[in-house]
């Protein structure tokens, strides 16, 4: 599929609505998602069959030129092969015509993308963890999803129904008047639609091209440093010196008692057993649905709270500084994993990033090795160790005593000032590197800006606190990364 390029002044935005299908419509939705999974499994088996055949022929000493040719995995090649096989393959005979062609195209497109990711990862051209070869999707575990790119895709004039290819008109749980009015005014158009079953409900997501005007934030010249944590979800210090504490709602902790109750009910009933093929009882399925409702409610509460927090921050400040936290590593700590997962650190950073692009504001990412908690926000001295249970920062070089999260937020806010001031401390990094072949980011100075030199030492030697200041400036320059 070709990647869509929005027109000038337009952005690609998704509108998501919950569906209220009846029994027949839900059966059709499941059939389309099952067809997508079947096409994906067929493509994976078709491509990997040539791999197994070549490996078997190589064991008999057959030369490279005489081996079975590699089967291509590009989307056009998969579509051509699938169209030839669907009429004769017994896995599709008799029922493939019941679903839209878009359902099979979804599975084939996902298979092509999976093989591309595997090839790029194997050749070292893909970032992140190593990606293995695509495998078949299990009917029991596969996520139900299907994408439509052509055909009748629209929001009905009443705003309470949507129309999808072959599925017909389905009622939506909430009114879709916002999208309908934008389409009628000519400021939006639908590119594709994706139906998905998650959290016990069916959803439809419309990918649209929407005209969006830039909204000026309340304080475009202000910067804020955000220190994320478990005790307080976010401690924010802005460039004016104001401190704000955002409490951690801890949605999961508030529902743990109810979750334990439902989990005990589930464990006392006859559940599925993969070893013996035993199917779950009706009472087990009912108890499992009740337990999942609690999980879904917690997830919805968390998503709502994070969106409100990040929107409020992005509507006020022109520059936001956040840390590049190693969330995956933090989740390995068995004492903090549940609290870290419930806080959603990675989701906060993701939302701050894309909402900043939407408002044309700046997002600064501090290196994960930048010692924001160990550095004194007053004199710049860096502590050698600061255990997590020590919640108060007590500087050894100056009389500063402050909450450690508040101190870290001040240091993050200082990164934003250093990046824009152009004083040579942490600003104008590109110009400094271009003019110095060895990559030095600043000249060594013996005093802090605004102070007079009076060391009283031969050769202009620097005092210990001045060396600490220079070390802090170099650390800030290395920690600064602009998005």
Q: Which residues pair with 205 in a beta bridge?
A: 16, 194
SS (H, E, C) 260-304: HHHHHHHHCCCCCECCCCECCCHHHHHHHHHHHHHHHHHHHHHHH
- Distance separating alpha carbons of residues 462 and 455, to the nearest angstrom: 7
Tokens read off for 12: 């690609």
CA torsion sign for 81, 85, 86, 90 is: negative
Q: What is the DSSP letter of 427?
A: S
DSSP 469: H
DSSP 86: T
Two tokens, residue 428: 């104008």
Among 222, 382, 392, which residue's Cα sits nearest to residue 316?
Answer: 222
Cβ-contact 193, 206 below 8 angstroms? yes
**Active site includes 323?**
yes
Strand ranges inside 6-79, DSSP E: 10-18
Sequence-ordered list of residues with C-beta below 8 angstroms from that of 276, at least 6 positions apart, any chain: none
Burial category of 113 from C-beta neighbours within 10 Å (exposed 0-12, middle 13-18, buried 19 and up): middle
DSSP labels for 142-176?
---EEEE-SS--EE-TTSSEEEETTTEEEEBSS--
Q: In 10 A of CB 264, how many CB atoms? A: 11
Classify strands 317-323 and 362-366 as parallel, antiparallel or unpaired.
parallel
Two structure tokens written together for 149: 């790119």
Cβ within 8 Å of residue 405, ≥6 positions away: 227, 229, 231, 232, 235, 373, 391
Question: In angstroms, rounded to a whole number, what is the distance separating the alpha carbons of residues 337 and 359?
Answer: 33
* Annotated active-site residue in 288, 405, 441, 473: 405
Residue owning tokens 């600490």: 468
Catalytic residue among 25, 102, 227, 473: 227
| Contact status, residue 217 vs residue 352, Cβ threshold 8 Å | no
Given 25, 102, 238, 323, the catalytic residue: 323
* Nearest Cα residue to 58 out of 49, 71, 68, 48: 68
Q: Which residue has the tokens 């060895």?
A: 438
For β-strands 154-155 and 161-164, DSSP reports them as antiparallel
| Rounded Cα–Cα distance for residues 328 and 128 (Å) | 13
315 is known as an active-site residue:
no
- Known catalytic residues are 227, 323, 405
């Amino acid at each position: 599929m070709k990647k869509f390029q929005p027109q000038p002044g337009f952005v690609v935005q998704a509108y998501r609505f919950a569906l209220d299908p009846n029994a027949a419509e839900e059966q059709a939705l499941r059939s389309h998602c099952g067809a997508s999974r079947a096409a994906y499994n067929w493509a994976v088996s078709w491509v990997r069959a040539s791999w197994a055949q070549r490996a078997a022929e190589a064991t008999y000493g057959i030369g490279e030129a005489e081996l079975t040719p590699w089967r291509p995995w590009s989307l056009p090649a998969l579509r051509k092969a699938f169209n030839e096989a669907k009429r004769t393959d017994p896995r599709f005979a008799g029922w493939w015509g019941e679903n839209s062609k878009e359902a099979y195209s979804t599975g084939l497109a996902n298979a092509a993308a999976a093989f591309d990711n595997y090839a790029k990862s194997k050749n070292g051209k893909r970032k992140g963890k190593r990606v293995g070869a695509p495998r078949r999707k299990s009917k029991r575990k596969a996520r139900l999803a299907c994408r439509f790119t052509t055909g009748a895709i629209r929001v009905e004039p009443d705003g309470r129904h949507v129309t999808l290819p072959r599925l017909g008109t389905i009622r939506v749980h909430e009114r879709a008047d916002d999208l309908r009015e934008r389409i009628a005014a000519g400021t939006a158009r639908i590119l594709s639609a994706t139906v998905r079953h998650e959290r016990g409900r069916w959803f439809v997501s419309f990918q649209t091209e929407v005209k969006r005007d830039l909204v000026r934030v309340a304080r475009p010249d202000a910067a804020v440093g955000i220190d994320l944590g478990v005790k307080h979800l976010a401690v924010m210090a802005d460039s004016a010196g104001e401190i704000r504490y955002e409490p951690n709602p801890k949605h999961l902790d508030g529902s743990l008692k109810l979750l334990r109750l439902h989990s005990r009910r589930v464990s006392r009933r006859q559940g599925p057993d993969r070893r013996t093929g035993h199917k779950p009882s009706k009472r087990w399925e009912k108890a499992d649905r009740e337990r999942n409702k609690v999980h879904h409610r917690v997830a919805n509460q968390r998503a709502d709270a994070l969106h409100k927090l990040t929107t409020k921050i992005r509507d006020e400040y022109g520059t936001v500084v956040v840390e590049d936290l190693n969330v995956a590593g933090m989740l390995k700590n068995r004492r903090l994993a549940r609290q870290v997962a419930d806080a959603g650190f990675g989701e906060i950073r993701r939302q701050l990033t894309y909402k900043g692009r939407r408002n044309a504001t700046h997002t600064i990412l501090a290196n994960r090795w930048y010692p924001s908690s160990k550095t004194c926000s007053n004199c710049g001295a860096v502590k050698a160790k600061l255990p997590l249970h020590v919640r108060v920062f007590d500087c050894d070089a100056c009389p500063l005593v402050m909450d450690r999260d508040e101190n870290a937020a001040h240091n993050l806010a200082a990164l934003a000032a250093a990046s824009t001031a152009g004083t040579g401390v942490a600003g104008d990094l590109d110009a400094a590197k271009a003019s110095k072949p060895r990559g030095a980011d600043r000249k060594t100075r013996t005093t802090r800006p605004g102070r007079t030199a009076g060391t009283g030492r031969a050769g202009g030697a620097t005092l210990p606190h001045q060396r600490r200041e220079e070390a802090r400036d170099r650390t800030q320059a290395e920690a600064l990364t602009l998005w």
